[in-house]
Amino acid sequence: MSIDLHLVSSPSTAGSLRRAIKDELLSGEVFCTMDIPELGPLANGIQRMKFLMIIYFLKIVRLSGFRLQEL
């Protein structure tokens, strides 16, 4: 038995696909990577991980209201 895997990068898309599966319009499982492949280096996994960590760190700092000088 094989199961379709729907790999997406957006939580919104994942939710839509899960709904379609629940409504039996689609079969399989959904996995959301929470990644944006259009950004940053792709050829080197270590560089990509560092890039994403910086991006998410800056996003958390911005959302928290801190200024980088305060850290």
DSSP notation for 23-50 = TTSS-SEEEE----TTSS--S-HHHHHH
pTM over 0.85: no
Dist CA 37 CA 26 (whole Å): 25
User: What element of type H or E holds 5?
Assistant: strand 5-8
Give residue-wise pLDDT tens across range 22-65.
Answer: 999 999 999 987 777 777 888 888 888 888 778 777 766 676 76
Dist CA 37 CA 57 (whole Å): 18
